[in-house]
Amino acid sequence: MITRRRSTSMVAVWLSRLPSLAEALGRDHPPARDEASFATALGELINARDRSEVWLALSVLTGRFPGESLVLETARSSEIDPRALFQAVRRETTRESAAWKVVVESEKTLVDVADTSTSTLATGIQRVVREVAKRWAAIETVRFTGWTKDWQSLRDLEASEIARVERGIPRAEHEGDAIADVVVVPWRTTYILLEVSAEPPRSERIRALARFSGCRTAALCYDLIPVTSSETASPGMTGVFAHYMAALKYFDRISTISQATAVEYRGWREMLPAAGLPGPDIVPVLLPASVGDSDEAALDAARERLVIGRMPLILVVGSHEPRKNHLAILQAAEILWREGHSFSLSFIGSRSWRGDEYHDRLRQLQDQGRPVESITRASDTLLWAAYRLARFTVFPSLNEGFGLPAAESLAVGTPVITSEFGSTAEIAADGGAILVDPRDDDDLTSAMRTLLTREDVLDRLRSEAKRRPRTSWDQYSRDLWNAML
């Protein structure tokens, strides 16, 4: 009895969704009133030889986006057994997905900001997404989306999530999970992924979407570090990233945040013809070097918090993962302190994977009385002021997609010591920086010594930094939109 009631309820759900499916295909839907007639109507409506129609039918009727293998398996079975599609729909529909409202979007551009709209973090990627999204919010044809629980399907965002993305406010620690109310199925429109998909189930469904939905697909890509510098990535990230790349190979366009990252992605694309795929177009759109203003009150507060007496402040911005090379900075600082140089050293950035050695070394130096500290969850107000108060900043990363801390330091006229290759060398090309080999501790120590002792060099770099061309998030967001479409 319970099974029959549940079956009757499911049939009612499928019947209610059938008109949307037919409308998306531009066809009249055959009449259906019960399970048997629904199965017949579905067989008449969908061309099983067209994989895109099978993808659409599974997405709309179940409320859950299918993976690539499910689409292919269902399409092949349906060519032999006309009831196979109905059986897949019945099998894949859950009580949870049956309760969702499903809409097909064929006009607006869907912009996927799932992580950014729900996360408690404020990483560099999420900062880029928030800066872009709050500007794209003014575009009438944009529809922001997240994902349902367990990455089953795209959904409309809650009002609080939209406000969070647009205003750039991270999610509160104890805020409840959003409830998926409206599942959004993209069909022959545009889908843009603004962030990295770090969840294999999400990547699997995005891959099928890119291959079968008939949508124009575009992604903003930040780096290939889990591939090119896997030894510095978090445990398991290389495998997770491979799922993400498997989805990107079906995309139409990728926009990278630097020329250096474009070179990496073009190298990856050159491998795809071996799999019979052309790969996406790759268009670099460089991130802006832009920071907020600091009034006197903000500077005074930051000075009180960061500056020790007359000591010059050296600033390091970035998460404490091995790739950022913070152990090399601590080594250089200790050598310079032992030489008798007076300065304080402040790290601003979040804790990260494999950071225990850095934190242990930091505590050792603090126990010895060295003027060094590590600040997590710093406000933008403090960060912008810190850039301006620092004598110079240090960013000797081993691999970067762009290197926002180097660009932001130079944007306020503060010289930076950074790596001599890749995107950081690209940023430094307009002046204001000393380039070093980040794998050579002596080279890094020498550069820091120079900027501590040579006022003439420091003044020259400051002048170069102030003459650099100015860029903005407004312009970047416009350029990125044009590159994605």
pLDDT tens for residues 374-407? 998 888 899 999 999 999 999 999 999 999 999 9
What tens digit of pLDDT does each residue of 435-477 get?
A: 999 999 999 999 999 999 999 999 999 999 999 998 899 999 9
Token code pair at residue 152 = 């089953």
In the chain, the domains with their CATH numbers are 2-99 (no CATH), 103-289+477-484 (3.40.50), 296-466 (3.40.50.2000)
**Does the pLDDT of residue 481 top 80, yes or no?**
yes
| 63 close to 203: Cβ distance less than 8 angstroms | no
**Does the pLDDT of residue 343 top 80, yes or no?**
yes
**Does the pLDDT of residue 113 top 90, yes or no?**
yes
Q: Tell me how far apart the alpha carbons of residues 223 and 312 are, in angstroms, rounded to a whole number.
A: 34
Task: Please give the pLDDT value at position 164.
Answer: 81
**Does the pLDDT of residue 81 top 80, yes or no?**
yes
**Cα–chain-centroid distance for residue 34?**
45
Task: List, in order, residues 6 or more apart from 149 with CB less than 8 Å away.
Answer: 96, 177, 180
Q: 276-302: string of b/e by CB count within 10 Å (b at 16+)? A: eeebbebbbbbbbbbbeebeeebeeeb
pLDDT band at 5 (very low <50, low <70, confident <90, very high): very low
Task: Please give the pLDDT value at position 3.
Answer: 44
Task: Please give the pLDDT value at position 29.
Answer: 81
- pLDDT higher at 167 or 128: 128
Residue with tokens 């009034």: 295
Token code pair at residue 7 = 């079956």
Main-chain phi, psi angles of 347, to 5 degrees: -100, 130
DSSP calls for 331-342: HHHHHHHHTT--
What tens digit of pLDDT does each residue of 251-310 get?
A: 999 999 999 999 999 999 999 999 999 999 999 999 998 888 999 999 999 999 999 999
**Does the pLDDT of residue 354 top 60, yes or no?**
yes
Per the prediction, the chain carries an average pLDDT of 92
Task: Please give the pLDDT value at position 171.
Answer: 59
pLDDT band at 175 (very low <50, low <70, confident <90, very high): low
- Which three-class secondary structure state does DSSP give residue 21? helix
- Threshold 0.85, pTM exceeds: yes
DSSP calls for 394-458: EE--S--SS-HHHHHHHHTT--EEEESSHHHHHHHTTSSEEEE-TT-HHHHHHHHHHHHH-HHHH
- pLDDT higher at 180 or 163: 163
pLDDT band at 2 (very low <50, low <70, confident <90, very high): very low
Neighbours of 376 (CB within 10 A): 11
Neighbours of 163 (CB within 10 A): 14
Q: Residues 154-181: what's their mean pLDDT? A: 73
